[in-house]
Amino acid sequence: MCCVFILLFLCFWLFWAGHSSFIADSPSRTASGSVIEGTVFINGTVAIAKTDDNFICATLDWWPPDKCDYGTCSWGRASLLNLDLGNPILLKAVKAFSPLKIRMGGTLQDKAVYESKGIDEPCTPFVKNNSELFGFSEGCLTMRRWDELNIFFRRAGAVVTFGLNALRGRIIQSDGSARGAWDSSNAESLMRYTVNKGYKIYGWELGNELSGNGVGTRIGADQYASDVDRLQSIVQNIYKGFKIKPLIIAPGGFFDANWFKEFIDKTPESLQVVTHHIYNLGPGVDDRLIDKILDPSFLNSGSEPFSSLQSILRSSATSAVAWVGEAGGAYNSGHNLVTNAFVFSFWYLDQLGMASIYGTKTYCRQTLIGGNYGLLNTNTFVPNPDYYSALLWHWLMGSNVLSTSLAGTTKIRAYAHCSKQSQGTTLLLINLDGNTTARVRVTISRENLAGNGALVVQQEQQNQRKRFAKICQDTKTNGKMREEYHLTARDGDLHSQTVLLNGEILAVNSSGDFPPLEPIYVSETAPIIVAPFSIVFAEIPSSVLPACAQG
């Protein structure tokens, strides 16, 4: 009898050991909070989409320190022109992804001039001038700075794309349109210099937010397609003899179905990547940002550009793929203590999950650093909560996307991918409810590898007493463990810029070293406990799924 009690105790400990310390200390859980039951259904027979392995991307922008929005100047020295590339935290932050895609671009790229022998004018910085397009004069990128950037990217192991000055040579008309063909001579000079120095550029992107109605000005789809053909010709010429040539990327603007369809149909051979931007939360000054972020219906509405662009690409003769080239959620530099705080991980991770479902290959977050939506703090370089969210996604979520649905609640967002490090499954759960804890069961369907048709593996289908008995009866089968990563805000404050992983604060130490992102281990048969206002990554290294065995 004594042995029985000991065995029961061990079974109880097996279930709760992973959860107890975290949940007991979780600031989000309240005594009055309710508990709901939910079930996630994952179809593991076939992947519904595939992302790039280096799906996570972040941007570096051009904005000078005197770029201000709503009376606040949030950019500091975070421009690609003045960023402190010697900061050790910055280097370690990029290196941690091995590799991180970085997109250099933004509004002022189209007014940038690249220093070259063919340009006699002095290489001067952007100067604030409200009477000029975008509120600034032309500004110059020196080759010294270009060298510094490329040396940094080489050290950090980054994969780099660069946005070219698509407005050069055009005339802005009274109706707001930009007329004339792109003058590519300055861009060609930069590309030749880049090749001669041995710098690697993964892709050259033409223009920023000039598609459709544009921002500030616009270019017609027909002319833009002609300019992209020109860029492709230049790249083929300059990179002649290179086994791998840079990608041709465009248009880097807000999705407009008619414009994008015409543009894509007219660039079937010259375009490899179609980029669009996402700021669906509206202006950064909006005081309803958090309400939108926590609204499942609002989040669902964000799928429209992904699905529409996917349909256009599938019906076109192009082989181009979709990227999100820039996404800061709230435009005009975001909102302090919202788009750089814990609450924004709900929107950001939901966007990553949704974009993946629709075959988006890469998702570039605005920004790596700068404004009020940086992954890193603009002044201290210390990671904001979304940095850790991005890093966990990069480490855990593989490229094969699985069909996932959830029953029992609308407040839990659920996404599943094949695991990055194994042929198991990684599940992402986001709890948008601040008063309810979710106990989530997982059901995975997969083909029976023994040839007996479909096998359904169900976790936590019995009540708690039966579960413990089942664990005890067959520890060899049910003793498998999963890894869980629970993210919560410090003191339960959604505006906090400090995030906790499994109850422990994530912070850079005095040497600038990043904290380890260590999981808790929980029995695979136990439900996943998702505390109020929390995010959970759960890696389930169970039997190999057919979808995860695909190349």
DSSP state of 525: T
Q: Yes or no: say if 426 and 527 are a contact pair by the CB < 8 Å rule.
A: no
Q: Do residues 474 and 524 make contact, with C-beta atoms less than 8 angstroms apart?
A: no
d(CA 391, CA 99): 11
Q: Is 518 a catalytic residue?
A: no
- Rounded Cα distance between 22 and 486, Å, is 8
Q: Is 194 exposed, middle or buried (0-12, 13-18, 19+ CB in 10 A)?
A: buried
Q: Are strands 56-60 and 362-365 parallel, antiparallel or unpaired?
A: parallel
- Provide the token pair at 138: 């032309």
Strand 273-278 and strand 247-254: the pairing is: parallel
Distance CA 273, CA 387 (A): 25
Element at 315 (helix H, strand E) = helix 304-315
Q: Are 442 and 42 in contact (CB under 8 A)?
A: yes
Catalytic residue (one of 205, 209, 483, 524): 209
Catalytic residue among 115, 138, 188, 326: 326
Q: Give the C-alpha separation, 539 to 535, whole Å.
A: 13
Q: DSSP states of 33-90 as a string?
A: -EEEEEEEEEE-SS-SEE--TT-EEEEE----TT--BTTB---TT-STTT--TT-HHH
Sequential DSSP letters for 450-487 = TSSSEEEEESS-S-HHHHHHHHHHTHHHH--EEEEEEE
Q: What is the 3-state secondary structure (H, E, C) of 363-381?
A: EEECCCECCCCCCECCCCC
- Contact in structure between 248 and 225 (CB atoms under 8 Å): no
One-letter identity of residue 428: L
Q: Which one, of 195, 190, 206, lies nearest residue 142 by Cα?
A: 190
d(CA 341, CA 397): 22
d(C-alpha 375, C-alpha 514), whole Å:
14
How far apart are alpha carbons 228 and 244 in whole angstroms? 19
CA separation, residue 34 to residues 37, 313, 456 (Å): 10, 45, 30
Active-site residue 326, yes or no? yes
Give the residue numbers annotated as catalytic, written as ranges: 209, 326
